Amino acid sequence: MLKKIETELIDETSDQVDTWKMEFKVGEYYGNKTFAQIKAIHDQLVTVGKNVEKIRLLTFFERGSMYAFLKASPPRFGRWIEVCNDLNVYRRTVDRYIDFFKIISAYPRLIICDLNFETIMTFYKRLEDHLKDHDSLASKLRSPLKQVHIGGGCVFSSRRLPGADRDPVVSVAPEANELLADNDYKPAWEIADELFDQYEIE
């Protein structure tokens, strides 16, 4: 995980705008293509796959932000369990997204390190321990994201992306150390949350 993080941060371009291309073709015919052409298509598909994961992480971050807001203001929207029921989301799942929101708020550049949600959440505590003794890497991960242009027409200003409201040299916000969900992110974590939530209500 550390090797991947360091590699992605080193390979990052110095451009002010990060373009996440989403263009690819489904049902491509390979019978009339050279290996060089197939390799170019392969590279394109790999890039799109990485960009899809970045977008997924951004949506998880935004959901975490929304859930944190709602959870902090229950009198305004009703009892917390009712709010979760109205949103059709389980409370344990909500805690996971809130934790992710805290982590990405502390280390915005984790979004561009070619890691998925499950990997970040499973190894975050160990990563956090590592970063305490590696200030240079911690500083790079704390840096705000650049402006993002999604290759389908969407543009996200860097002022709205994780870390934009914070000085990158400031130490990690203390709330990123206090996570709500346990460290269980096996492939079926969403199903486990549903069962756990139902069991807890009963």
**What does the pLDDT look like over 10-21, one tens digit per residue?**
877 777 788 888
What token pair was written down for 189? Answer: 């974590």
Residues 189, 96 contacting (CB under 8 angstroms)? yes
Has residue 100 got a pLDDT over 90? yes
| pLDDT-derived band at 172, boundaries 50, 70, 90 | very low
Examine residue 134 and state whether it is found in any structural domain, yes or no. Answer: yes
Max mean pLDDT range (4-13, 30-39, 189-198): 30-39
What mean pLDDT comes out for the span 163-191?
Answer: 61
Q: In the predicted model, is pLDDT for residue 63 greater than 80?
A: yes
At residue 131, the pLDDT reads: 93
% residues pLDDT > 90 (the chain)? 44
**C-alpha span between 67 and 3 (Å, rounded):** 32
Domains held by the chain: number:
1
- 164-190: average pLDDT: 60
Does a structural domain hold residue 28?
no
| 194 falls within a domain | yes
The average pLDDT across 58-81 equals 90
- Verdict on whether the full-model pTM lies above 0.85: no
At 181, is the pLDDT very low, low, confident or very high (cuts 50, 70, 90)? low
pLDDT for residue 174: 44
- What confidence tier does 128 reach under pLDDT thresholds 50, 70, 90? very high
Mean pLDDT of 142-164: 75
**Does the residue 27 lie in any domain?**
no
Query: Sheet holding 17-20: strands in order across?
Result: 17-20, 147-150, 154-156
Q: Closest Cα to residue 96, out of 70, 67, 125?
A: 67
**Single-letter amino acid, residue 197:** D
Counting every residue written for the chain, the total comes to 202
Instruction: Write down the residue that tokens 């486990």 correspond to.
Output: 192
pLDDT in tens, 23-60: 888 888 999 999 999 999 999 999 989 999 999 999 99
Tell whether 14 is covered by a domain: yes
Domain that holds residue 56: 2-22+34-201
Going by pLDDT thresholds of 50, 70 and 90, the confidence category of residue 7 is confident
44 within domain boundaries: yes
Q: Give me the phi and psi of 148, to 5 degrees please.
A: -115, 130
pLDDT at 68: 93
Average pLDDT estimate for 60-72: 94
CA-based Rg of the chain, rounded to a whole angstrom? 19
Query: Residue 99 domain-assigned?
Result: yes
Cβ contacts of 131 within 8 Å, gap of 6 or more: 107, 137, 138, 141, 172
